[in-house]
């Protein structure tokens, strides 16, 4: 049997489950969880429970690496501040380039390996110039969703 804990990346995101192992994780504690392309800091929103009903030989897709340290929380705060700046820059650049889209959110992965910008548009939009402009400003990989 596997102990799993419910985590959220942001306050209104859906709950995801990660294997907790032997780590004691109280509610609202931040934990580090590796993903496919990066690492993220997530907040525990459901207490750890033993996973009983599971497909044979199948483990939860994610696992908790460790509790967040003070350094991790400081980095999270820096990322959130940078996200606000990048959000404003993305909105400005989209207007400057006359791209018919609305920038909804900007989010750095915890390890800052990429910036994910969420947008809305009525139809198909060619945003390659925006990606190029944002990559130059942020100095990293930019992904639009």
pLDDT in tens, 20-51: 888 888 888 999 988 877 888 888 998 888 87
Report d(CA 68, CA 43) in Å as an integer.
Answer: 9
Mean pLDDT in residue range 116-134 = 87
CB atoms within 10 A of CB 16: 20
Strand order in the sheet with 39-51: 62-63, 16-19, 2-8, 39-51, 30-34, 66-67
Structure tokens at 109: 């992965």
Q: Express as a percent the part of the chain with pLDDT over 70.
A: 93
Report d(CA 127, CA 59) in Å as an integer.
Answer: 38
Q: Which one-letter DSSP state was computed for residue 14?
A: P
- The pLDDT score that the predictor gives to residue 1 is 63
Residues 6+ apart with CB under 8 A from 76: 30, 41, 68, 110
Query: pLDDT category, 55, cuts 50, 70, 90?
Result: low
Q: Which helix or strand (DSSP H or E) is residue 145 part of?
A: none
- The pLDDT score that the predictor gives to residue 53 is 61
């Amino acid at each position: 049997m596997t102990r799993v804990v419910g985590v959220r990346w942001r306050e209104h995101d859906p709950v995801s489950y990660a294997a907790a192992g032997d780590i004691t994780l109280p509610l609202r504690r931040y934990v580090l969880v590796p993903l496919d392309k990066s690492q993220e800091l997530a907040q525990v929103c459901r207490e750890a429970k033993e996973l009983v009903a599971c497909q044979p030989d199948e483990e939860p897709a994610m696992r908790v690496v460790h509790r967040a340290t003070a350094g991790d929380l400081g980095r999270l705060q820096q990322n959130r501040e940078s996200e606000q700046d990048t959000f404003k820059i993305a909105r400005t650049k989209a207007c400057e380039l006359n791209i018919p889209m609305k920038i909804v959110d900007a989010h750095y992965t915890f390890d800052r390996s990429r910036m994910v910008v969420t947008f809305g548009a009525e139809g198909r939009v060619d945003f390659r110039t925006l990606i190029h402009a944002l990559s130059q400003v942020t100095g990293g990989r930019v992904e639009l969703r």
